[in-house]
Amino acid sequence: MNGQTLLIGIGANLAPDGFDTPRAGCEAAIARLAAHGIDVAAVSPWYETAPVPVSDQPWFNNAVIRARTVLAASDALAALHRVEAGFGRVRTVRNAARVLDLDLLDYGALLIEEDGMTIPHPRLHERAFVLLPLRDVAPDYRHPATGAAIDDLIAALPAGQQIRRAG
């Protein structure tokens, strides 16, 4: 498939209806992306992460997906939202516990500001749960706005984020 390379963050800390674990729901969501015009090329290993900001929520299961699509960035984001909705995601308050979160982290290394969409994701560089799995699927990644290499972004992460590779 031609088109753009996408980097997508995926995570959950609640199991969707019909699934035993949050990770099982995430894996099923990954399988559904192709039906929405997003072809998955690679999925990082899974990480278990404490909620950011810190709260009493359950820990998250997080990964990053490298994919390709011919969809425009806004259509790719809309497709991710449709997949989330199909798993019962209802957007309430920011940083709430959730059954599925699909974030469009990067679209073809482009800088995009339109219709409430900011690419690359505006908090990508602040989150260990994004950067560590991102390095697994895109070890040569450079932040499109700053040019910073992935290892430099990881080295500059704010302290105190709890993350571990899932077993």
Length of the chain: 167
98 classed as catalytic: yes
Helices (H), 17-142: 22-32, 73-86, 128-137
Query: Measured in whole angstroms, how far is the alpha carbon of residue 154 from the centre of its chain?
Result: 16
Choosing from 23, 89, 127, 135, the catalytic residue is 89
103 classed as catalytic: yes
Q: What residues does each domain of the chain span?
A: 4-165
How far apart are the C-alpha atoms of 165 and 61, rounded to whole Å? 10
Return the number of other C-beta atoms located less than 10 Å from residue 47's C-beta. 22
Lowest mean pLDDT among 82-91, 103-112, 119-128: 82-91
pLDDT for residue 160 is more than 90: no
101 classed as catalytic: yes
**Predicted confidence band at 1 (pLDDT cuts at 50, 70, 90)?**
low
**Both tokens assigned to 77:** 């984001």
pLDDT for residue 96 is more than 90: no
89 classed as catalytic: yes
Residues 166 and 23 sit within 8 Å (Cβ to Cβ) = yes
Give the CATH number of domain 4-165. Answer: 3.30.70.560
